[in-house]
Amino acid sequence: MAVVVITGSAGLIGSEASAFFAGLGFDIVGIDNDMRKSFFGGEASTFWNRKRLEKTLGRRYRHIHGDIRSYNTICKVFKKYASQIKLVIHTAAQPSHDWSAKAPLVDFTVNANGTLNLLEAVRQYAPGAVFIFTSTNKVYGDAPNRLPFIEQGTRWEIQTGHTYETGIREDMPIDQSLHSLFGVSKTAADLLVQEYGKYFGIRTVCFRGGCFTGPNHSGTQLHGFLAYLMKCAVTGTPYVIHGYKGKQVRDSIHSLDLVKAFYEFFKDPRVGEVYNIGGGRFSNCSIAEAIKICSDITTKEVKCRYSEENRKGDHIWWISDISKFKSHFPDWDLKYDIHGILKEIYEANRQRWGKQGVNS
């Protein structure tokens, strides 16, 4: 039996990975305690997604309601499956830099200590497994905000000819910037993943993402930009734009495109690797542009409220340079652009949101 252990298995990326690898014939052990509900309230609960996985994947999926902060819990899983574990996909996290300031101890123990627990369990019981970690572009802090930007009609854009014009590479420094406490805890985890690779020879990788998105995202105000925006568009809930005139830019990658990148790495893994990953120049938008697309798709005006104060440490502009990953894995490419992503989110959720409202 070949096993894939997936943390945060009922979340956006975890559920996509569960379905993908189960479809390839792997048995999935999913670890998820729906802590997203504790962080953000009932609208962010992933319980519905867990039930969907259990129904659609059947015997291929075993769910463990466990907390990654408990080393004993993690060890029991890894002891049981040991050498059968071929791949670990670690997506469980406290994902919001706004929320992290409310409870720094919770944020750090989930993101940093939880990652350490998993890495040590791999080292002790499944050292031959590949370890994939969903990191974040917040490891760079607000350093991207020091880049030269030009204000355009609907977005901020980097100066033509700049070295990062095609996107921000992995060579951007991670120190001497404001990270948010979330950024710090994820940076600690990111460095641990690299170190367990380089020091112990475990095949590890950090995927530093911008906006991960897709139809299975339980979007909420503090996390899940595109899914939450579309939910607001469908339900008529006002969407709050925080600063930068709504022209701040994000690249977004569909959960399936990301999981396919995971698969490419799994087939030919490296040790202690790092990749910036996202929609790049193919799939990006400003908030203002995303609002327009949502309005076009739903044929309804999106209600918005503007706040002059931007979120602390928030990026003005982030587009990933994905050329390093593509050079290592030339068979991989992006399928979904922003319009395609938002259209799929709408089609997959409009009935559920329409019946139950924004708190569904």
Q: 347: number of CA atoms within 13 Å, CB side?
A: 6
* Superfamily holding 3-356: NAD(P)-binding Rossmann-like Domain (3.40.50.720)
Query: Which helix H or strand E contains 299, and what residues bound it?
Result: none
Judge contact between 318 and 210, C-beta under 8 A.
yes
Q: What is the pLDDT at residue 360?
A: 44
Q: What is the pLDDT at residue 25?
A: 97
Structure tokens at 74: 């993690």
- Of 171, 194, 4, nearest in space to 86 by CA: 4
Q: What is the pLDDT of residues 78-135, one digit of tens each?
A: 999 999 999 999 999 998 888 899 999 999 999 999 999 999 999 999 999 999 999 9
Whole-number Å distance between alpha carbons of 320 and 207? 11
Q: What is the pLDDT of residues 284-333, one digit of tens each?
A: 999 999 999 999 999 999 999 999 988 888 899 999 999 999 999 999 99
CA triplet 326, 184, 41: central angle to 5 degrees? 95
Residue ranges for the chain with pLDDT beneath 70: 219-224, 355-360
Q: Where are the domains of the chain?
A: 3-356
Q: What is the pLDDT at residue 311?
A: 84
Strand residues in the chain grouped as ranges (E): 3-7, 27-31, 61-64, 85-90, 130-136, 149-151, 156-158, 203-209, 211-213, 239-242, 249-254, 273-277, 284-286, 304-307, 317-318
Q: What is the pLDDT at residue 356?
A: 55
